[in-house]
Structure 1
Amino acid sequence: MEYKKYVAPIVVCLVLGNGAFINAQIQPGVYISDTDNIRHELKIDDTYMIYTEYRQSPPKFIRTIGGFLREEVAAGKRLAVLLEFNSNYEKDSLRVLSIPMEMHGKNLVLDLNSKMTFTPITKKEQDLDGAWLFATRGPDEAQERRGEENPRKTLKFLQDGRFQWIAYNTETFEFFGTGGGSFSSEDGAYVENIDFFSRDDSRVGATLEFDYELKGGEWHHSGKNSKGEALYEIWAPRK
């Protein structure tokens, strides 16, 4: 699937919109569309959207894009996004999305060159829900931290039992990798089940278990990564 590139007036409208927000008709959550063994996964909250495609069997990561929602008054019903990352940027140079949309009951219909129906998954609130930016390697010893002002970012987005991390650069639009799937977080135990992994499809199906603790509003995360290496990470809430 290829996204259309839109003309300058839409870009202007996106940039000049008064603040990020989601169309009142769209309920924040995770939406799924499965077509021909390809999963299309859409995560949306009040200000941000992530769209990811991956083949389920045999597993194969295809693409991911994400960014801040914007108002697009002149164009009517559209899901308008100012992208922050695009795994296909070297091929399509896409930094803005403006997608025709409709709501059919609770289902979201997007016209991605052809109309596709996304169904919301069951709501599931857990610890750690929300958007997080990687801050530093732990433990916390007052070391320098990577903040919002740093163009090199690793975002972790958790919603309705689904997680995704994305590493990227907002200045150069370089894309470094992503992975995601389902998660649980309860009583200090955080578990990830990997459904897609851009750097190595063979890791799909793995389950990773970690310890977590919230300290001063930050997420302290420890255990072993997908290579079996010990890690301690500190994640700060994205504001």
Structure 2
Amino acid sequence: MKKIITLACFLFCVIIGFAQIDGAWKLSGNGTIEVTCIVADNYFMQTTYDKTNKLFVNTQGGTITAGNDGKMRVTIEFNTEDSSSAGQSHILDYKLENNVLTIRINGSDKAWQRIDDGKGELSGNWRITEREQNGKMNPMRPGPRKTLKILSGTRFQWVAINTETKEFFGTGGGTYTFNNGKYTENIEFFSRDNSRVGASLSFDGKVDNKKWHHSGKSSKGDPIAEIWTRQN
């Protein structure tokens, strides 16, 4: 069952790079297992999890480029079920009608329902580029190890990876709101510590061009101040 769901997610995420299908999507008909995917700035992150039982199952993501012929190319950057797939590229087809994206896999159709259209002040693919230490903001050296956070209009997911070694260090995600300079995350999955599921975290935030200034306290209660840079 898990392998079928993972394949469905992968094929879905391969083909969601057009602007009209940027945003958040959910795979239909999986009981308590939820499979969601966020697409923004030609990047995707997809996760399988059980929010009810606070169970993280798997995640994967990478870059996407789209053509006008209904075909999409994806390059995998991380995959917790098969790290050897990192760096691989694939091309697949899709069909989109009435906010339902249908993917045919081995003769079977998998239907994805749109959650949101990806519109929002924070919508995009962001990489942490500065972090406060000893009262001073310090730039982070660019390299294969990186922490990304992708947001649609209502959902977010972060991931820490190394694209050179194909290592995965952790992920978390769920829903969010951003109003009057206050950013609030509602955690639905957390690979490192499932006790965080159900918690809400609030931060002060502002967007200045492609810079997102983010400050508050982490899930462990430690003070943080960060700058994230949009990757498009």
What interval of TM-score do these two structures reach, taking the shorter chain for normalisation? 0.7 to 0.9
Task: Kindly indicate whether structure 1 or structure 2 has the higher relative contact order, using CA contacts under 8 Å at least 6 residues apart.
Answer: 2
Which of the residues 22, 29, 33 maps onto 2:17? 22
Letter of the 2:200 partner, please give it. Answer: T
Q: Aligned letter for 1:165?
A: W
Q: How many residues align?
A: 219
Q: Show the 5 A alignment for 1:129-148.
A: 129-138=123-132, 141=136, 143-147=138-142
Alignment of 1:39-78 (within 5 A): 39-45=34-40, 47-70=42-65
Query: How much has 1:235 moved relative to structure 2?
Result: 0.8
Partner of 2:195, secondary structure, is helix
The reply on whether 1:190 has 2:183 as its aligned counterpart is yes
> Which consecutive unaligned segments of at least 5 residues does structure 1 have?
5-13, 15-19
Shift of 1:49: 2.0
Coordinate RMSD, CA, aligned: 2.8
5 Å-filtered alignment, 1:69-108, equals 69-70=64-65, 79-90=72-83, 93=85, 95-108=88-101
Cα distance, 1:110 vs. partner?
Answer: 2.4
Assess if the C-alpha contact under 8 Å between 1:194 and 1:204 holds in 2.
yes
Identity of aligned residues (%): 36
Aligned partner of residue 117 in structure 1, secondary structure: strand
TM-score, length of structure 2 as denominator length: 0.82
Q: Say which is worse superposed, 113-122 or 194-203, in terms of deviation.
A: 113-122
Aligned counterparts, 1:88-237, within 5 A? 88-90=81-83, 93=85, 95-111=88-104, 114-123=108-117, 125-138=119-132, 141=136, 143-147=138-142, 150-215=143-208, 217-237=210-230
Letter in 2 for 1:37: T
User: Structure 2 unaligned runs (5+)?
Assistant: 8-13
How far apart, CA to CA, are the structure 2 residues paired with 1:219 and 1:176? 23
Code of the residue aligned with 1:131 in structure 2: it is: N
Q: Following the alignment from structure 2 to structure 1, what is the Cα–Cα distance between the partners of residues 179 and 74?
A: 33
